[in-house]
A = this chain, B = another copy of it.
Amino acid sequence: MAEICTLKHAVAQHLHDGDTVALEGFTHLIPHAAGHEVIRQGRKDLTLIRMTPDLIYDQLIGMGCARKLVFAWGGNPGVGSLHRLRDAVENGWPHPLEIEEHSHAGMANAFVAGASNLPFAVLRGYKATDLVKYNDRIKSVTCPFTGEELAAVPALRPDVGVIHAQRADAKGNVLIHGIVGLQKEVVLSARRSIVTVEEVVDALDPPANSCVLPHWAVDAVCAVPGGAYPSYALGYYERDNRFYKAWDAIAKDRDGFRAWIERHVLGTEDFDGFRASLEAARAEEAGP
């Protein structure tokens, strides 16, 4: 049953050290605000799951929140590397990061299996890739009817699923539209779930067959306007491609990254504070 509460409360309540956590978002609706709150509350030893870890995972990893990363594609789309992820994998900074690597098809099927309460997913995949040499969680099953051998991956069942969405109503029913990615599956596959939304409205009035999460299938709903920034929320604001490009320089060296996090994330109370702090920095750069 959804509790409508602050993000600070939701993270304190539902997301603990050592948890397996999926903060999903396929370019769209990435829960940056929730990721920042995890950093502020200093979570440790997390196993982070995401098909496409990007800036917010770079920040969580760079701040040492993660013990392990389960992923398929870790980069800054259209820009390049995630320097904090690379530093962790290549140099073990701030500490070594265990990785479990899949393909998108494998992880997408694994989330569907998780949402379906199945222990594993079956797919045609991993047929000609070295991924299977380094990931012993990719196995095979034989079709009991045709004898064909197919790939099998364990279902993803995170302790906590975290997503951002456009809207919730007063009860906590959530509406997601545009590129819905695997937002629904992440919540349904998780033991506990946190959904940040652009706004809480009186009534959702969703179009027929749109992607809706009923309030009784979600644990916490938090109004965080702009909470996906620098990702985007269709119908609210666009992706800040400039920020994605600027991140490359910010994350390149350890001290610069630390300074940025300390000033804009640890140095602020919440996401509004973070946005204001960024604006102030931009004004400074622009000069008088």
Tell whether A267 is near chain B: CB-to-CB under 8 Å.
no
A145 adjacent to B137 (CB under 8 Å): yes
A141 adjacent to B139 (CB under 8 Å): no
A120 adjacent to B139 (CB under 8 Å): no
| Subset of 13 A-B contacts with CB under 8 Å | A117-B124, A119-B143, A119-B150, A137-B145, A139-B145, A141-B144, A144-B152, A145-B154, A177-B208, A178-B209, A208-B210, A208-B234, A209-B210
Write out the residue numbers on chain B whose beta carbons fall within 8 Å of the beta carbon of A210: 207-210
B209 adjacent to A180 (CB under 8 Å): yes
| Contacts known (A208-B178, A209-B209); A145 close to B119, Cβ less than 8 A | yes
Scan A132-166; emit 1 where CB is below 8 A from any B CB, else 0: 00000101110111101010101000000000000
Kindly list the 9 A-B residue pairs having the minimum CB-CB distance in the complex, ordered from nearest. Answer: A207-B207, A139-B144, A119-B143, A177-B208, A119-B146, A145-B154, A120-B143, A144-B152, A119-B148
Copies of this chain present in the complex amount to 2
User: Other CB < 8 Å A-B pairs besides A118-B123, A141-B141, A208-B210, 6 of them?
Assistant: A119-B143, A119-B146, A120-B145, A139-B144, A177-B209, A209-B210
Contacts of A174-232 to chain B: CB distance below 8 A? 177-178, 180, 207-211
Write out the residue numbers on chain B whose beta carbons fall within 8 Å of the beta carbon of A265: none
Write out the residue numbers on chain B whose beta carbons fall within 8 Å of the beta carbon of A117: 124
Interface centre among A117, A143, A210 (most CB of B within 10 A): A143
Give the interface residue-count category, chain A.
20 to 34
B207 adjacent to A208 (CB under 8 Å): yes
Bound form: Cα–Cα A177–B209 in Å: 7
Bound form: Cα–Cα A270–B141 in Å: 49
Tell whether A4 is near chain B: CB-to-CB under 8 Å.
no
Tell whether A122 is near chain B: CB-to-CB under 8 Å.
yes
With CB as the reference atom, state the residue of chain B lying closest to A210.
B209
Scan A84-104; emit 1 where CB is below 8 A from any B CB, else 0: 000000000000000000000
A122 adjacent to B124 (CB under 8 Å): no
With CB as the reference atom, state the residue of chain B lying closest to A142.
B141
B140 adjacent to A144 (CB under 8 Å): yes
With CB as the reference atom, state the residue of chain B lying closest to A113.
B122
With CB as the reference atom, state the residue of chain B lying closest to A177.
B208
B211 adjacent to A150 (CB under 8 Å): no
Interface centre among A117, A123, A208 (most CB of B within 10 A): A208
